[in-house]
Amino acid sequence: MPRNYHMFKVLSLSLVGLFGAVMATPPVLKTGACPTFTRSAPASGDNWGQFPIKPTTAFVTANCSGAACTQQDPLPTNQSINCIQVPSGLRAELVASELTPGPAPSLGYLMYISFDERGRVWAAEPRDYPAIANDPNPTNRITGGKGRILILEDTDGDGSLDNYKVFYDGLVMPTSLEVVNGGVIATVEPLVVFLPKSTTNPDTAGAPITLFSGMGSTGNTWDTHGGTNSITSGLDNWYYGHLGYNGGCSVNGVTCATGGVWRFRHTAIGSLTTTFQAFSTSGPANAHGVGQMEDGQIFQSGATGTPHNNHAIRRGVAAVNIQVNGTYYPITGDRYLWEGSTGMTNGQFTSNTTASSGHDFYTARLLPQKYWNTRSFVCEGASKLCNQDSMVINGSTWTAARMPGPVTSNIFASSDAWVAPIKVRTGPDGGLWVVDWHNYLFLHNPATPATNAAWNNALRTKTRTRLYRIVPDDGHTDPVLNLSNATTAQLVATLYHSNFVWRMQAQRLLIGKGYTAELGDSLQSILTNHKTVDAVGIDGAVIHAIWTLEGLNRFVVDSTRWAPILKSLLLHPAWGVRENVLKAMPRTATSAQAISDQCAADDPHAHVRLQAYVALAESPAATSGAVQGHYRATDTYSSSAFDAAGASKLAAATPANTRPTSCPDIQSTVALSHGSDLKNTQMANPMRFTMTRNGFELDHPYGKLSSGDLVVYDITGKAAFRSSYNSATEAWSTTTAKGLNMSVYFYSFHGTNGDKFEGRLLTNQEF
């Protein structure tokens, strides 16, 4: 199916004037093979041979003498890019580096990026990392440091970020930032700070405002690596972040666990409350990276010898390790790891990792469909790569399947030992952007002495940094918008954009403008008329319309108008919409009744069911015997609790797992995935079903399908449905099945020419 470049639905208005410069010509591309490396002894005198985990024996033999090893010499930008490897069909482009013009000192040590309504790049540059003691006034975290917040932009449309500005200078090690209405929020351990835009120059900051303190240790000798990080604008109008192992968290009487995900809303940045919450109660202690899917689900990465892919779920619950295979596939042996195994198979470590960070998803449509929303990326700077996992729904959580390596396992990898990717993020141009810390020394602590103190090592240079983007191999990108002067109608139209980045920008700006009757009518039209299900199971325009109204508090102050609409959306064909309606509904008796009336806790999709239980548990009606008894709501996140709630993937039909046949139908047309037993066919998804809550209707197949017989049977082997297909008429003898109240059925199709398809049909999981 051809890819649309921006996929707007125009609401009787022109979008002329929203497009900024189209990034056309990349500044630095591959020109040939990776050069032969030269090597030198470390200038600092630090003994590299003390590392507990060394590279391969062959590498040590070739590059070490006694206890000391030589290091690879750095490469210039136009040679280092020749050592970058990305999957077939894609290419990496260097868009910024230490050569990018701007105020002294030159760019170096970029750690995190965000984007604004003009498509500009905002970056956190913690120049005093890793030691607080490097600062002249270490007790003053917002004026006593060397850390900068920068704005990088492409002013001439040639594809290069051709200059940068300093928005703010003086933070002590800012680890992340996010552009918000009126300024920027940043994590500056142990603080979260708001940097408002100056009234005289919006590209510079006014006086910083501390939003929260108590986010980790204040000690100058503590391990600064384990601080708070990864601030992320949530789809639900909350701001999420991570807490590492550095000293715990106590904010406004709320305690958050090390490794947990926290979130907040604050009036200073246009939200409704000053609420701070512990979103998940635990996770990998050495935590760095918050990722977000297009339906708002939150994930986190763990750095040190822990699973790198974890699902964080609301309601005082722990993060779930969803990783299946943690193997990394570096393309260089020149790396030193703190944790892990010395055992090597085909050149890769076979167990733990050292520095996984920067979890995120690809949430645009420029790259091929296989990357959309359910391909997660986590960087491993010590191994010079960003890996990729394929995410598959597994009941109310996910399974992360490691892509097979070494050719396809990485979205980005380098044989240049200075390359050190630390964060990926979908960009405003549709590309996948990669922040390269570009440092030979990625580890934080020395092997000896084994202390928590930061390692001040001369190898930790602060004079280089690289910023890449990954795009199709022909170099084309999506248009970059400029929403800085967009009207309400134009912002509403942008809610249909194919790139999550722009939908989020439009949502933020609409909330900042405030509620008007025009806006209410436009958003109501979306909620009542738009019934699209896209390739990843969402309807982006409807989801963002919901959260725009929630951010404006309309579901509370005008509940009479919106409650019936939210109730009707519980039957929307896109499971992502139903999931987000349940998150956004006010916790009232009216909402609880709507959940009951629409059988939301018996939704065919386990992720929707989970949110129904959370909503009921938080509503006044949750203590009602009838509601509690029917839905078995739970506050605890565990396998047994999910089983009790009916939210886990069900493998058998029992009376407790059947669903009532009186519930309103939800319809969605999708391809039925087949099993592994395939013969004489080239079709991946040969049949299509229109699934309803209690059955399905057969539709025309994709492509050519031979005449044959289809049988759907239950776990006892009893046939529940039979139909024959006639390839000449492209018609089924029987098209509709009803009353299928078991959770799992099996199907088998046998064609006259030898076609054979077998698999499972999960009626109460994903359509």
Determine the Cα–Cα distance for residues 568 and 565; give it in Å rounded to an integer.
Answer: 5
Q: What's the pLDDT score for residue 196?
A: 96
> Per residue in 720-762, pLDDT tens?
888 988 888 888 898 888 777 665 677 778 888 777 776 666 5
Phi, then psi, of 489 in degrees rounded to 5: -65, -40
DSSP state of 346: T
More confidently predicted of 592 and 165: 165
Q: What's the pLDDT score for residue 700?
A: 63
Q: Exposed e or buried b for every residue in 457-485, given b needs 16+ CB within 10 A?
A: beebbbebbbbbbbbbeeeebbbbbbbee
More confidently predicted of 189 and 527: 527
Q: pLDDT-based confidence at 716, cuts 50/70/90?
A: low
Q: pLDDT-based confidence at 627, cuts 50/70/90?
A: very low
Q: What's the pLDDT score for residue 205?
A: 97
Q: Cβ of 545: how many Cβ atoms within 10 Å?
A: 27
Phi, then psi, of 440 in degrees rounded to 5: -65, -35
Where does 172-293 show beta strands of DSSP type E?
A: 176-180, 183-188, 191-196, 209-212, 228-233, 239-243, 249-251, 254-256, 261-264, 276-278, 287-292
Structure tokens at 574: 């896109």
pLDDT at 567 over 50: yes
User: Helix or strand or coil: residue 496?
Assistant: coil
pLDDT at 661 over 60: no
pLDDT at 51 over 60: no
More confidently predicted of 42 and 141: 141
User: Helix or strand or coil: residue 544?
Assistant: helix
Query: Of all residues in the chain, what percent carry a pLDDT higher than 70?
Result: 71
- Whether a cis peptide bond, with omega within 30° of 0, leads into 449 is yes
Longest dimension (CA), the chain: 82
Which H or E run includes 349?
A: strand 348-349
- Mean pLDDT, rounded, for 436-459: 66
Determine the Cα–Cα distance for residues 118 and 749; give it in Å rounded to an integer.
Answer: 52
Q: Residue 511: which of 461, 472, 546 has the closest Cα?
A: 546
Q: 61-70, 432-441, 442-451, 708-717 — which is least confidently predicted?
A: 442-451
Mean of per-residue pLDDT scores for the chain? 78
Q: 12-16, 40-44, 679-683 — which is least confidently predicted?
A: 679-683
What's the pTM value of the predicted model, to 2 decimals?
Answer: 0.83
Report the chain's terminal Cα–Cα distance, integer Å.
21
Determine the Cα–Cα distance for residues 487 and 481; give it in Å rounded to an integer.
Answer: 13
Q: What's the pLDDT score for residue 189?
A: 85
Sign of CA dihedral 741, 743, 746, 749: positive
pLDDT at 523 over 90: yes
Q: Residue 543: which of 299, 296, 362 has the closest Cα?
A: 296
β pairing state of 64-65 and 68-69 = antiparallel
Determine the Cα–Cα distance for residues 497 and 512; give it in Å rounded to an integer.
Answer: 19
> Per residue in 214-250, pLDDT tens?
887 665 455 677 788 999 999 999 999 988 887 778 8
365-369, 657-661, 739-743: which is most confident:
365-369
More confidently predicted of 483 and 396: 483
